[in-house]
Structures are given as C-alpha cells and as structure tokens.
Amino acid sequence: MQEPDALAKTNRINLLFDFYEPLLTEKQRTFLKYYFHDDYTLGEIAAEFEVSRQAVYEHIKRAESVLESYEHKLRLLARHEAAADLLSRLDAVAESLAGQDDVVCELRTISRRLKEIDGA
C-alpha cells in the first residue's frame, strides 16, 4: 500500500473507531488503539500480549471489518462528514454576505448551534 493510501486508511479507521468503539470487543479496541493510535507494529503488539503476529493481524483485520460493517449499516461517519461539509458551506456563505450584518449574524448563530448539536 502506498503512503497516501495508508494514511487515508489510518485516518478512516481512527474516525470509525471514534464512532463505534463501544461496539467492539475489549481485545479489538486494545489492538486497534495500539496499532492505529499508538503506531505499534504487529510484532510489538504480539510481544506485549504474548500472542503471534498472525493473531494480532487477524484481530485487527476483523475489527476493521466490523467497523466498516457498522458504518455501512449506521452511516454515522458519512452523516458527520456531510454535516461538516454543509456547515463549512454555510460559513462560506455568511462570509460572502459582507455588509448584511443581520443576515450574517443569523447565519453564524445557526452554524454555531448546529456545531454544538454535532459536538464539533
């Protein structure tokens, strides 16, 4: 896998992990944290937990598959990204309305409240 693809995959898994972490098993959470958050190698994780590299690899692959399955069904990440995009567009429109302070103020209020709802 090329470096940009690896970085994109890591970012996606980390985002999915943020949404679906409670739905994973303890071992899946632990191995994903070590591998994707802490940048441990398969060998380092295997040594830490006294299991084979293959076992670690299989747990990580299974956890990735589970995360993607949850996203396919629940679409939480997709909805979050769509909302973030719309908020960004709303902010851009507000900026383009220079001189219309009442409209800009209302748009910024809406944007701020939507961000609070989304937890952004």
Number of domains in the chain: 2
Per-residue pLDDT band at 2 (split at 50, 70, 90): low
110 and 51 in a common domain? no
Average pLDDT over residues 78-85: 91
Radius of gyration of the chain (CA): 20
Indicate whether 70 and 84 sit together in one domain.
no
Q: In this predicted structure, what is the pLDDT of residue 105? A: 83
CATH number at residue 40: 1.10.10.10
Residue 104 half-sphere exposure, CB side, CA atoms within 13 Å?
9
Higher pLDDT, 87 or 32: 32
Structure tokens at 22: 């409670």
Range of the domain at 37: 3-74
53 and 33 in one domain? Answer: yes
Chain segment 25-73, per-residue pLDDT in tens: 999 999 999 999 999 999 999 999 999 999 999 999 999 999 999 999 9
Regarding whether 66 and 93 lie in a shared domain, the answer is: no
Q: What pLDDT is stored for residue 109 in this prediction?
A: 86
